[in-house]
């Protein structure tokens, strides 16, 4: 799979992970079983016999937060896993998956990096897919020629970002939010860093982070407990125990407001506004989650969408969200609008946030939000794909096993006062990063 | 989550569905063994109802599909179907602007809509007991939109922003738009789903009213319900909410058959960008229009041979062996109302030109004409199709999409069950035959993106709308 395609898939995975904030009526939450393999990898498993297939996801604490001085190392290592392993080269590995109709992909974000497999549960087909996946996990070759090719593809993907004002803004945003923190590191790397990454660097990264003690295996599908245990052992039993990645330094709060502008020859300006926001397992998690739902997290019903799109037609998409991560992930508001409307839209975004913090949500907004979040719970776990996303997240971030069962109760316990209190303490309108990427606004266009 | 709603609208827009569809996605459609157990009903007013029971989770997806989209539009009003789709959220006599979305949200639902060349569809995903809410609201807005000028003005501005975001500021999307306009002269696939900017600028709410009255009728719609429901109960519900809506007298749309192409067409698109891009397309039949029914399935297999999976020919030969491109894809959509294109698109690797990549792609196509594909390659595609039939059952939404698409382009949902067996029946010889018959220079259109400097003031935003 080429890097250009991969990036697209990463983006999709990323969005799916952002959605992994759930609510369910307790009785329908899937039953999660968990254990550790002999060499110390954590396993999360849900038996789903309805369809004759199985999903497996293996996640390592090996995202770009672990890049160190070499931006892009985590993603490059992750990408290289399937470019030759054991006795098979890249072509042979791909052919083995394709020949049994299996779907295989790799992913690397800031916290997580890993591999996903979907296969039929037919013993023969599944076995071929698992043997292949095991080789990729435990015996990657990191062949020099393939590394050179992937490096060149990554450089093209970096160039592709330069022709997307959205991608440019996103990079500027993370850099400004995180400064010296590892979350500032662009996952794809930089031109200079990619050229400097050697085979030795990739091997060392792999040996340090792709170990059982740093791994989480999630399994959902039509395999019983005994087979699931065999499967987990087979996949990862040969990895050394190793150690979990060390804790990341805490994310520092922003000290002052910062406005960053970049001129780009586009018809619209892309606007991002935000600050470090929320982590997984955060005591304010549910208050901020419900609050954001009202502020800009629920499409047409949210305040930002009403102000920007419904009342004034200034943008197609406008939103706010938290991306909860191991450390404080971003709180982000965003939109894109014609260059000449840039200042108006930005002022509205700012005003909407300030009003929300000042006044807090109304009683009606609270009722609406809680009804929507809790009433929609069954939709969020209605597929194996959704369920594996949740259990991988719960396992990776060490959230309580009853996270899904208690989610609705946690949402219902949030009050308007709690939302307002959490936003007042956590979100600071005078210390936000604002990124603007777009064209100059010369003349008024004739709308 | 809100991101998801807007993203979903983005992903579902017909432009993407039709021209961006990959052979991999297609290879996972349809199936071999399992009958899909679809219940079909037609109400007296002509509304078709398709119900597929799936009891895995206590949820339901409801979609209503109208037989109208950008391919029903004529010059001067392009984009009207999509603008109308936006206006469908702007209120009826009974439910004011935005109320539809509010009610669905209160009920824990998700909802959105999408417009394509051949259809406009609206959907809700809900906990199963809330299906009546969806029916009540959809029945109401089938006929009772208020279409207020004030709302229209704002929503048109939103669509302009959408067009800028989706097309104007995305180099590859601009190429795609110009490419379709060059490939199709008299076929309505010539113009983009979102419409030409000048047409949008001159669209009025008075244009919308007759368009709405003409196409939004029970006998021009298909209601698709998939989920934890009982078919007979869904039928009763549908009767309760939709049966009273009188049918319309539908005038058939003009055929607008594409004038025969008499030689290759080449266009160049010069916009600020960093990477060159190549997009090629050959005129091909679709299932609806093919004289020989097996040919579209052979074209499906052909696309799969080239780029259906990481072991297919394009990634293996052009990306990894020759390393001439970083991505190359073949695309074909057999489920459309009118004949389409077999497309090939690529981003060259550093140090390689678009011309070199085109030559390499043409060499691969020549190889398909000269030599039959191997048994191993065919076996791989068949394995993917069988597996894909199982995987697709993990998504209620996708199953409903398939039923709605097939019904709305005029093929009938039954084709869904045939897909895998038809693909599996394709021989190496048939693949060679369609390659020889359709991949011919005389029906080829090629579009090339020539990147211009990003900092050049001359090239920067000359869009006035």
A257 — phi, psi (to 5°)? Answer: -70, 150
Is there a contact between A99 and B170 if contact means CB atoms under 8 Å apart? no
CB A189 within 8 Å of CB A72: yes
Q: Give the nearest partner residue to B127 out of A51, A94, A378, using CB atoms.
A: A378
pLDDT of res. B206: 97
- Per DSSP bridges, beta strands B265-272 and A258-263 are unpaired
Q: Is B13 on the interface with A (CB under 8 A)?
A: no
Fold of A258-438: Cytochrome Bc1 Complex; Chain A, domain 1 (3.30.830)
CB A395 within 8 Å of CB A34: yes
Show Cβ contacts of residue A145 under 8 Å, excluding neighbours closer than 6 positions: none
B267 — phi, psi (to 5°)? Answer: -130, 155
pLDDT of res. A441: 60
Query: How much is the average pLDDT of B280-294?
Result: 98
Please, where in chain A does CATH 3.30.830.10 lie?
Answer: 30-236, 258-438
Taking CB atoms and an 8 Å cut-off, how many pairs form between chains A and B? 257
Q: Is the pLDDT of residue B33 over 80?
A: no
How far, in Å, CA of B42 to CA of A438, rounded?
Answer: 52
How far, in Å, CA of A1 to CA of A105, rounded?
Answer: 9
How far, in Å, CA of B235 to CA of A263, rounded?
Answer: 57
Q: Give the nearest partner residue to A98 out of B126, B380, B459, using CB atoms.
A: B380
Q: How far is B196 from chain A (nearest CA, A)?
A: 14
- A contact test, residue of B137, B165, B345 with most A CBs within 10 A: B165
The answer for A189, left when phi > 0, alpha when psi is -120 to 50, beta otherwise, is left
ipTM of the complex: 0.91
How far, in Å, CA of B340 to CA of A352, rounded?
Answer: 47
- Look at residue A90 and give its three-state secondary structure: helix
Q: Is B101 on the interface with A (CB under 8 A)?
A: yes
Task: For residue B277, give both structure tokens.
Answer: 């891009």
Q: Give buried/exposed letters for B409-423 (b at 16+ CB in 10 A, else e).
A: bebebebbbbbbebb
Long-range contacts of A405-411 (CB under 8 A, 24+ apart): A405/A24, A405/A26, A405/A29, A406/A26, A407/A22, A407/A23, A407/A24, A407/A377, A408/A23, A408/A24, A408/A25, A408/A26, A408/A373, A408/A374, A408/A377, A409/A26, A410/A286, A411/A23, A411/A286, A411/A289, A411/A290, A411/A370, A411/A373, A411/A374
pLDDT of res. A29: 87
CA angle centred on A244, ends A203 and A398, rounded to 5°: 135
Q: How far is B394 from chain A (nearest CA, A)?
A: 5
Q: Is the pLDDT of residue B356 over 80?
A: yes
Beta-bridged to residue B342, according to DSSP, are B282
Show Cβ contacts of residue B410 under 8 Å, excluding neighbours closer than 6 positions: B288, B337
Is there a contact between A375 and B127 if contact means CB atoms under 8 Å apart? yes
Task: For residue B285, give both structure tokens.
Answer: 């039949």
Catalytic residue set of B? 85
Owner of token pair 């040969």: A238
pLDDT in tens, B411-438: 999 999 899 999 999 999 999 999 999 9
Pick the CATH number of A30-236 from 3.40.720.10, 3.40.50.10330, 3.30.830.10, 2.40.110.10: 3.30.830.10
Contacts of B320 in chain A (CB under 8 A): 90-91, 149
Cα B306–chain centre separation: 21
Owner of token pair 């071999």: B32
Is there a contact between B316 and A94 if contact means CB atoms under 8 Å apart? yes
How far, in Å, CA of A77 to CA of A88, rounded?
Answer: 18
Show Cβ contacts of residue A244 under 8 Å, excluding neighbours closer than 6 positions: A61, A213, A214
Cα A360–chain centre separation: 28
Strand ranges, E, within A141-251: 215-221
Calculate Rg over the CA atoms of chain A.
23
Is there a contact between B56 and A382 if contact means CB atoms under 8 Å apart? yes
Q: Is B99 on the interface with A (CB under 8 A)?
A: no
Q: Give the nearest partner residue to B394 out of A384, A445, A446, using CB atoms.
A: A384
- Look at residue A62 and give its three-state secondary structure: coil
Task: For residue B384, give both structure tokens.
Answer: 């993917």
CA distances in angstroms from B391 to A232, A385, B301, B376, listed in the order given: 22, 10, 19, 22
CB A58 within 8 Å of CB A115: yes
Residue B277: how many CA atoms within 13 Å on its side-chain side? 26
Strand ranges, E, within B201-250: 221-227
Give the neighbor-by-neighbor strand order of the sheet with B277-284: B265-272, B444-452, B277-284, B340-348, B325-331
Q: How far is A400 from chain B (nearest CA, A)?
A: 23
Torsion of CA A213, A216, A222, A226, to 10 degrees: 20
Q: Is the dihedral of CA B145, B150, B154, B159 positive or negative?
A: positive
pLDDT of res. B31: 32
Q: Give the nearest partner residue to A313 out of B4, B158, B394, using CB atoms.
A: B158
Is there a contact between B309 and A97 if contact means CB atoms under 8 Å apart? yes
DSSP for residue A88: B
Q: Is the pLDDT of residue B105 over 80?
A: yes
Strand ranges, E, within A158-257: 215-221
Is there a contact between B108 and A314 if contact means CB atoms under 8 Å apart? no
Torsion of CA B303, B65, A382, A1, to 10 degrees: 20
Show Cβ contacts of residue A132 under 8 Å, excluding neighbours closer than 6 positions: A88, A93, A96, A97, A104
How far, in Å, CA of B315 to CA of B327, rounded?
Answer: 7
CA distances in angstroms from A162 to B33, B35, B316, B455, listed in the order given: 47, 48, 27, 12
How far, in Å, CA of B11 to CA of A335, rounded?
Answer: 17
DSSP string, A312-347: T---S-EEEEE--BSS-EEEEEEEEEEGGGHHHHHH
Binning pLDDT at 50, 70 and 90, where does residue B455 land? Answer: confident
Find the residue in B nearest to A120 (Cα): B387
- Count of residues in chain B: 465
User: Which residue stretches of chain A have pLDDT < 50?
Assistant: 1-27, 443-447
Roughly how many angstroms between the first and final C-alpha of chain B, as a whole number? 32
Show Cβ contacts of residue B362 under 8 Å, excluding neighbours closer than 6 positions: none
Calculate Rg over the CA atoms of chain B.
22
pLDDT of res. A1: 29
Binning pLDDT at 50, 70 and 90, where does residue B456 land? Answer: low
Beta-bridged to residue B48, according to DSSP, are B42, B222
Q: Give buried/exposed letters for A323-358 (b at 16+ CB in 10 A, else e).
A: bbbbbbbbbbbbbbbbbbbbeebbebbeebbeebbe
Q: Is the pLDDT of residue B34 over 70?
A: no
How far, in Å, CA of A104 to CA of A283, rounded?
Answer: 36
Q: How far is A95 from chain B (nearest CA, A)?
A: 5
């Amino acid at each position: 799979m080429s890097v250009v395609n991969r990036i697209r898939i990463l983006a999709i995975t990323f969005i799916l992970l952002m959605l992994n904030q759930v609510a369910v009526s307790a009785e329908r939450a899937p039953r999660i079983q968990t254990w550790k393999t002999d060499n110390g990898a954590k396993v999360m498993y849900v038996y789903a016999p309805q369809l004759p297939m199985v999903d497996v996801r293996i996640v390592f604490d090996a995202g770009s937060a672990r890049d160190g001085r070499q931006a892009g190392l985590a993603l490059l290592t992750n990408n290289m896993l399937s470019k030759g392993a054991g006795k098979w080269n890249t072509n042979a590995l791909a052919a083995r998956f394709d020949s049994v109709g299996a779907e295989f992909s790799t992913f690397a974000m800031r916290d997580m990096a890993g591999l996903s497999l979907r296969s039929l549960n037919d013993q023969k087909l599944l076995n071929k897919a698992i043997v292949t996946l095991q080789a990729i996990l435990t015996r990657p070759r990191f062949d020099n020629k393939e590394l050179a090719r992937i490096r060149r593809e990554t450089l093209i993907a970096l160039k592709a970002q330069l022709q997307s004002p959205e991608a440019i803004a996103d990079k500027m945003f993370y850099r400004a939010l995180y400064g010296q923190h590892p979350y500032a590191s662009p996952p794809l790397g930089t031109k200079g860093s990619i050229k400097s990454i050697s085979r030795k660097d990739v091997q060392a990264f792999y040996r340090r982070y792709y170990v059982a003690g740093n791994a989480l295996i999630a399994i959902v599908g039509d395999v019983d407990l005994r087979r699931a245990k065999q499967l987990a052992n087979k996949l990862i039993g040969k990895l050394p125990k190793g150690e979990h990645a060390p804790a990341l330094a805490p994310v520092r709060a922003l000290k002052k407001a910062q406005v960053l502008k970049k001129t780009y020859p586009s018809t619209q300006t892309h606007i991002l506004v935000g600050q470090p926001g929320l982590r997984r397992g955060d005591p304010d998690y549910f208050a901020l989650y419900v609050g954001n739902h009202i502020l800009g997290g629920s499409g047409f019903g949210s305040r930002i969408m009403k102000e920007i799109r419904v009342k004034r037609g200034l943008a197609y998409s406008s939103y706010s969200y938290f991306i909860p991560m191991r450390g404080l992930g971003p709180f982000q508001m965003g939109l894109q609008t014609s260059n000449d409307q840039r200042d108006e839209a930005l002022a509205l975004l700012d005003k909407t946030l300030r009003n929300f913090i000042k006044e807090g949500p109304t009683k009606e907004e609270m009722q609406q939000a809680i009804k929507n979040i809790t009433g929609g719970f069954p939709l969020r776990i209605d597929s194996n794909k959704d369920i594996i996303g949740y259990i991988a997240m719960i396992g990776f971030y060490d959230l309580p096993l009853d996270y899904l069962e208690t989610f609705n109760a946690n949402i219902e316990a949030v009050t308007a006062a709690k939302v307002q209190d959490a936003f007042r303490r956590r979100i600071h309108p005078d210390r936000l990063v604002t990124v603007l990427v777009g064209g100059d606004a010369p003349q008024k266009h004739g709308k | 989550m809100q991101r998801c709603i807007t993203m979903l609208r983005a992903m579902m827009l017909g432009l993407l569905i039709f021209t961006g569809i990959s052979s991999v996605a297609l290879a996972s459609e349809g199936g071999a063994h399992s009958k899909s157990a679809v219940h079909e009903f037609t109400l007296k007013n002509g509304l078709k109802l398709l119900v597929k029971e799936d009891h895995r989770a206590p949820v339901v997806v409801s979609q209503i599909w109208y037989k109208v989209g950008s391919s029903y539009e004529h010059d001067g009003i392009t984009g009207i179907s999509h603008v109308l789709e936006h206006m469908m959220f702007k209120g009826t006599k009974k439910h004011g602007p935005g109320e539809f979305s509010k009610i669905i949200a209160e009920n824990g639902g998700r909802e959105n809509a999408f417009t394509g060349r051949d259809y406009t569809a609206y959907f809700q995903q809900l906990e199963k007991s809330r299906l009546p809410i969806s029916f009540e609201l959809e029945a109401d807005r089938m006929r009772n939109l208020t279409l207020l000028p004030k709302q229209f003005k704002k929503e048109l501005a939103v669509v302009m922003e959408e067009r800028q975001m989706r097309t104007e500021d995305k180099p590859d999307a601009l190429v795609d738009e110009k490419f379709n306009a060059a490939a199709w002269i008299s076929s309505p696939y010539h113009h983009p789903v979102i419409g030409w900017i000048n047409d949008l600028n001159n669209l009025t709410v008075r244009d919308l009213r007759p368009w709405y009255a003409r196409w939004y009728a029970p006998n021009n719609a298909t209601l698709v319900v998939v989920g934890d429901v009982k078919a007979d109960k869904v039928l009763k519900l549908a009767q309760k909410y939709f049966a009273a809506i009188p049918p319309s007298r539908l005038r058939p749309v003009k055929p607008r058959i594409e004038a025969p192409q008499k030689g290759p067409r080449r266009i160049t698109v010069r916009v600020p960008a960093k990477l060159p891009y190549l997009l090629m397309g050959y005129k091909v039949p679709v299932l609806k229009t093919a004289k020989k029914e097996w040919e579209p399935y052979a074209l499906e297999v052909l696309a799969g041979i080239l780029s259906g999976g990481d072991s297919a020919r394009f990634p293996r030969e052009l990306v990894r062996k020759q390393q001439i491109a970083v991505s190359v894809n073949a695309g074909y959509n057999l489920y459309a109302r009118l004949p389409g294109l077999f497309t090939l698109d690529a981003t060259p690797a550093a140090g390689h030109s678009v011309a070199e990549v085109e030559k390499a792609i043409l060499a691969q196509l020549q190889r398909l004409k000269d030599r039959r594909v191997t048994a191993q390659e065919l076996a791989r595609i068949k394995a993917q199709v069988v597996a894909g039939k199982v995987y697709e059952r993990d998504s209620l939404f996708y199953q409903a999409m398939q039923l709605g698409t097939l019904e709305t382009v005029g093929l009938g949902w039954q084709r869904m069950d045939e897909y895998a067996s038809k693909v599996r029946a394709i021989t190496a010889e048939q693949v060679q035959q369609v390659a020889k018959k359709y991949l011919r220079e005389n029906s080829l259109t090629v579009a090339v993106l020539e990147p211009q400097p990003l900092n050049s003031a001359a090239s920067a935003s000359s869009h006035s709308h």
